[in-house]
Amino acid sequence: MTRQIGERYQASSGAALEERVHVLEARVHDLDERVGVLSEVIRVLAHGLEEGPTAEPGERPVADAARRAYDLLLVTQATSHTTDAGNPDG
C-alpha cells in the first residue's frame, strides 16, 4: 500500500511539474513577443529621428514616428491584458 501511495504522489508531482513547465514556457513566449514589439518600437523611433533634419517644412517625421511607436505599445498592452485576463498567474 505504501508503494501505491508513493507512485500516486510521484505521478501527481510529475503532472504538477509539467504544468509549471507549461506556464513558464508560456511566459517565455509572451516575453519574446514583447521584446519583438519593443525592438520594432525602437526601429520606428530611430527611423523618425534619422529623417528629422531632412524633413520638408510642415512634415513632422519625429512626431509621426513617436505616434506610431506609441500606437504599437498600446496595441501590445491591450493584447497582453486580454491574454492575461484568462491566466491566473498573469
Model confidence pLDDT, tens digit, residues 28-68? 999 999 999 999 999 888 888 876 556 676 678 788 888 88
> Would residue 56 count as lying in a domain?
yes
Over residues 81-86, the mean pLDDT reads 64
Per-position DSSP letters for 3-64, written without gaps between them: HHHHHHHHHHHHHHHHHHHHHHHHHHHHHHHHHHHHHHHHHHHHHHHHTSTTPPTT--HHHH
Residue 4 CA from chain centroid, whole number:
43
What residue numbers bound the domain in which 42 lies?
Answer: 2-85
Other CB atoms within a 10 A radius of the CB of residue 69 amount to 21
State the DSSP code for 90. -
> What average pLDDT does the structure give for the chain?
79
> Would residue 6 count as lying in a domain?
yes
Looking at this protein, which amino acid is placed at residue 10?
Q
pLDDT at 89 over 80: no
What pLDDT sits at residue 90?
Answer: 47
> Would residue 90 count as lying in a domain?
no
Q: How confident is the model at residue 84 (pLDDT cuts 50, 70, 90)?
A: low
Q: Domain total for the chain?
A: 1
